[in-house]
Amino acid sequence: MTLQTAIDEGPTTDATAGGFLARAALFFAIGLGLYLLLLVVAEGRVRATGERNPLFQIAALPADSDVLILGASHAMPLGFEGIGETLDQASGRQVTTLAIEGGGVVPAAFLLDAALRQTRPQTVIYVVDSFAFLSPQWNEDRLADQGLFARAPYDREIFEAVLAEPAARGMLPWYVSGFDKVNRLLFPEPDRSEAELTKFDRTYRENARIDDQRIAYLFPDAPEGLTATYLARLDRMAASAAAAGADFILLMMPAPPRYRDRLPEAHDTVRVEVAEIAERRGIRIVDHSTLLPGDENYYDTDHLNRTGATAYVAGPLAEVLREGAG
């Protein structure tokens, strides 16, 4: 190649590269614009169908609210269709259930932090499950679940709560990008759990093998010191609720004898340590664990079905809330 040829070809090569970059930028801008359009549609869909998603419910809370219920799947039926309304009517109070399946102390503390940035509740109820103090599976791992954020609307308080919670920070890119929201455009149905949609009206038939498997699943071996970490988190939850002016109540929900009789020694250990926290802070513990013993009240090994949940919220739980009103 002669010097003259190189000189002649130089500008042509630069022009070609420049044209490619311009086209790439154009395609990128078009793609970004289409994605932002889909994100706007997805955000609107979230706000229309979020329903049971606890972050959706938190974003909708007024500045002053009444009762917040936190916990794992045992607490979820308290907010199912028809049950939440019954509880409101029977207690004369406005109850918001922020429970999530498999949610331990860390997810509950995260949700409480997000809620307290948004509202000042009169009462905070934490449904105590001893397994929630024994494994990261129900705690840090649960906050790494994209499903929790897929129906979470954009909200400053939620964003701040994610930043403040080390276990949730890894989900910040997913929350900000809204990728899961856009994906959920293919699934436009309201956000309700499988339990509410397909199991809640069932009645459990006792099966010893299934009961044993359930206990083994909930109570894996816990590393040394892990329980103390989650107990400390519960203690901080109580302090946060008190600082916000809320009455903090620890609730142990009904469970059938065949379930309670199988609970391991770790369950009793956790209950004793939770009671020590309650005594030190002057927290009320409501133990309803022996109520509703019959299997006609449960849709599986240990979750209230519609019959059991209706009886529970219209009677014992409503009474607790009436006592704490005002």
Read off the pLDDT of each residue in 29-35 and give the average, rounded to a whole number.
Answer: 78
Higher pLDDT, 203 or 41: 203
Measure the N-to-C terminal CA separation of the chain; round to a whole number of Å. Answer: 91
3-state secondary structure (DSSP) of residue 12:
helix
Mean pLDDT computed over 303-324? 96
What sign for the dihedral angle of Cα 8, 11, 17, 22?
negative
**Average pLDDT across the chain, whole number:** 88
Q: Where does the pLDDT of residue 3 fall: very low under 50, low under 70, confident under 90, or very high at 90 and above?
A: very low
Backbone region of residue 92 per phi and psi (left: phi > 0; alpha: psi in -120 to 50; beta: other values): left
Instruction: Place 242 in a pLDDT band, splitting at 50, 70 and 90.
Output: very high
- Integer Cα distance of 282 and 248 in angstroms: 9
Q: How many CB atoms within 10 Å of residue 62? A: 10
Per-residue pLDDT, 286: 97
Strands (E), 55-209: 64-70, 95-97, 120-127
Mind listing the domains of the chain with CATH numbers?
Answer: 64-148+190-323 (3.40.50.1110)
pLDDT 10s digits, 54-71: 998 999 899 999 999 999
| CA distances in angstroms from 128 to 131, 254, 271, 309, listed in the order given | 9, 11, 9, 17
Q: Is the pLDDT of residue 5 over 60?
A: no
CA 262 to chain centre: 27
pLDDT of residue 226: 72
Give pLDDT, residue 188.
Answer: 64
pLDDT at site 69: 98
Tens digit of each residue's pLDDT (9 = 90 or more) over 253-310: 999 999 999 999 999 999 999 999 999 999 999 999 999 999 999 999 999 999 999 9
Instruction: Give pLDDT, residue 317.
Output: 98
Question: Tell me: the pLDDT tens digits for 176-198?
Answer: 888 778 877 766 677 788 889 89
Q: Both tokens of residue 5?
A: 């040829």
Q: Within the chain, how many helices (H) and strands (E) appear?
A: 15, 5
pLDDT band at 175 (very low <50, low <70, confident <90, very high): confident
For residue 92, the cross-strand partners are none
Residues 78, 313 contacting (CB under 8 angstroms)? yes
Q: Which helix (H) or strand (E) holds 213?
A: helix 208-218
**Closest among 315, 240, 324 to 89, alpha carbons compared:** 315
Contact 308, 298 (CB under 8 A): yes
